Amino acid sequence: MTARLAAIYRYPVKGLSAETLDSAELYPGGGVPWDRAFAIENGRGRFDPLKPAHVPKINFLTLVRHADLATVSSRFDPQTQILTICRDGGEVAKGSLASPAGRAIIAQFFAEYMKDSVKGPPRVVQAEGHVLSDVSEPCVHIVNLGSIADLERIAAQPIDPLRFRPNLIVTGAPAWSEFAWAGKTVRIGEAMFEITERTGRCAATNVDPKSGRRDLDIPALLLRAFRHSDFGVYARVTGAGRIKPGDQLTVA
């Protein structure tokens, strides 16, 4: 079977829900547009929008410590930069992340909703052109459905690929073959990528992205079955182009 791109996702606000895309225009040195463009600081933080630099995820509201984030869903409009937060199918907060007033509305919602777990008043942060990723350089995260299927075999239950916060989900590749892509060039659609490293997993993957329950221990499962705690790979965009589900994946 030929390996192909199955789905494209972005996470406009770090730690909040995924958005699926019909296509994406990628450029060298960048990621999926609007992916992790914003984050919510957990109290007084270290991120300086005037001098943006990589800050460890511990400074932000993320699933690794705040599983309740998975009990709300978010929707982002790139044209207006309006973020809508919903819970149980109803809208609970809405504000434009392009304005201080809109960011304050979103921050206030999380201050109340997560009052038992925040360190101080949350703050929505952004710096134009800066990606608030877990790694220091802009990248995309690739997850292989073949590896998901093998992990499901070990766990003896279904595993939602969104536990791993992928940008690109591929299908048709043998289980774990993505690890052998490290250091190689991969083409998907019109875009080119350099696979830089395997992705070490943390306790954030234990959270069911739909229910918010910590119902699995993914790092321990990986260690027990495969003697490592890696799942997925990071890739740097090296050649511009448009990608869409159904595009073929080839490894140089």
pLDDT in tens, 198-247: 999 999 999 999 999 999 999 999 999 999 999 999 999 999 999 999 99
Q: Residue 1's pLDDT is what?
A: 63
Fold observed for domain 4-30+135-251: M1 Pyruvate Kinase; Domain 3 (2.40.33)
- Which tens digit of pLDDT belongs to each residue from 165-207? 999 999 999 999 999 999 999 999 999 999 999 999 999 999 9
Residue range(s) of every CATH 2.40.33.20 domain in the chain: 4-30+135-251
For residue 113, pLDDT over 80 is answered with yes
Mean pLDDT of all residues in the chain? Answer: 95
pLDDT interval class at 14 (50, 70, 90) = very high
230 Cβ contact list (under 8 Å, min separation 6): 179, 198, 199, 200, 201, 222
Task: Give the pLDDT confidence of 133-148 residue by residue, as tens digits.
Answer: 999 889 999 999 999 9
**E strands in 43-150:** 73-77, 82-87, 90-96, 123-125, 140-144
Q: Is the pLDDT of residue 74 over 90?
A: yes
pTM score, two decimals? 0.95
pLDDT at 252 over 90: no
At which residue do the structure tokens 């990248």 appear? Answer: 139
d(CA 231, CA 219): 9
Query: What is residue 48's three-state secondary structure?
Result: coil
Which residue is listed with tokens 């705690």? 229
What pLDDT, on a 0 to 100 scale, did the predictor assign at position 44? Answer: 83
